[in-house]
Homo-oligomer: A and B are copies of this chain.
Amino acid sequence: MINNNSTSRRDFVKGVGAGVLTIGASSFATSVMATKAKPDKLGIALVGLGNYATNQLAPALTVADNAYLAGIVTGTPAKANIWADKYALDDSHIYNYDNFDKIITDKGIDIVYVVLPNSMHKEFVIRAAKAGKHVITEKPMGLTAVECEEMIAACEKAGVQLSVGYRLQFEPNTLEIEKAAKELPLGPINYVRSEFSFTIGNPKQWRLKKELSGGGPIMDIGIYCIQAARYTTGLEPIAVRAVEYKTDYEKFSSVEETVMWQMEFPGGLYSNHTTSYSMKANELFVSYQKGNARLEPAYSYANVGGHIGERQLMPHQVNQQALQMDNFVECIRQNKTSKVSGKEGLQDMKIVDAIYKSIANGGKRVEV
């Protein structure tokens, strides 16, 4: 499955790995960005080597303080080769979906990070938990709230921590918005509006297949707006109303194209949202009694910035995913529940469930 050249190279890197560690990662060849043995860090195995794992999580693990890329789980042998070379991974930490459960005996892997299509989150979170590994899953946590409950139960039973990949809850400007929900420097919040949309490319991708994604933009990017309305207000919505709009019935034959929805919060606070695979928007707007706040972009991997009232929130040059994974390791070490635990993911999926119920009922009010 792995060609000789790349195997040799990997073996070579493995051979010098321990020595190199003593002088730091910077002495590695540029194509080799990590190594297997990092006694001061926890080892993470990424499950699913798609775009997000490749271009965000793996690079983040080269700069994280508390975690490093210790293994991979992939169904594509060619990818395994490339990754093994690039990140100096030992064969013993490379799995496929069939032999994944053997990870139970792999002492190099502390955390499994599930980056698979949505429909596979539940299965692999539960399998990881049964293998005794702490788990991070990408959002949406599952396809439904019921799935999330099963995942939480499995992790509790196994005594492992479960977290959702809500990277923005560690982004400094997002934290300012979150802090404003508690300190209310501009008075009470009376409105939240948020939109996250992009123009989707390849019509054959898994996001457009309901059996893999579980749904359209609401599951994928709309969930950021749900998160945002919650951390912006510090409140949980009590009801939603949602409508689906479609313009391209062929491309979006399986999932929604655009969803617009509103959420009602306790005490008479309402939010308004749009998410779509056919437009571009990336924004969080908050109306406080004495002024407004805005983040734009609000949800990107970099450059999240804006203002709270007159105060500018200049973008911070941070690696959101590194901060998120480092925090999870801290939680594991301190036996503390993550702020983005499974319960956080479950709450969002309860809201998504209500949104789908409202869509199915022509936009009627549905309690969460």
Interface residues of A (CB under 8 A from B): 190-191, 193, 195, 197, 199, 241, 243, 245-248, 258, 260, 262, 264, 267-270, 272, 274, 276, 278-281, 283, 285, 287, 289, 291-292, 362-365
Given the contacts A191-B197, A274-B193, A267 and B280 also touching, CB distance less than 8 Å = no
Give the distance in Å from the alpha carbon of A272 to the alpha carbon of B262 in the complex: 11
Minimum C-beta distance from A366 to chain B (A)? 12
A280 proximity list for chain B (CB < 8 A): 190, 287, 291-292
Give the distance in Å from the alpha carbon of A192 to the alpha carbon of B283 in the complex: 14
Given the contacts A191-B274, A287-B280, A362-B364, A246 and B262 also touching, CB distance less than 8 Å = no
Minimum C-beta distance from A358 to chain B (A)? 9
Given the contacts A195-B193, A274-B193, A287-B280, A248 and B262 also touching, CB distance less than 8 Å = no
**Which one, B260, B270, B364, contacts A270 given CB within 8 A?**
B260
Given the contacts A197-B191, A268-B246, A292 and B287 also touching, CB distance less than 8 Å = no
Give the distance in Å from the alpha carbon of A287 to the alpha carbon of B165 in the complex: 28
Q: Report, nearest first, the 4 A-B pairs whose CB atoms are least far apart.
A: A247-B268, A191-B279, A279-B287, A190-B279
Minimum C-beta distance from A258 to chain B (A)? 6
Could you tell me if B260 and A272 are in contact, using CB atoms closer than 8 angstroms? yes
Chain B, Cβ-Cβ closest to A274: B272
A199 proximity list for chain B (CB < 8 A): 190, 289
A258 proximity list for chain B (CB < 8 A): 270
**Which one, B190, B247, B268, B272, contacts A272 given CB within 8 A?**
B272
A193 proximity list for chain B (CB < 8 A): 195, 274, 281
Could you tell me if A292 and B281 are in contact, using CB atoms closer than 8 angstroms? yes
A291 proximity list for chain B (CB < 8 A): 280
Given the contacts A243-B262, A287-B197, A364-B363, A191 and B281 also touching, CB distance less than 8 Å = yes
Tell which of A190, A269, A279 has the most Cβ of chain B within 10 Å. A279
Give the distance in Å from the alpha carbon of A363 to the alpha carbon of B243 in the complex: 10
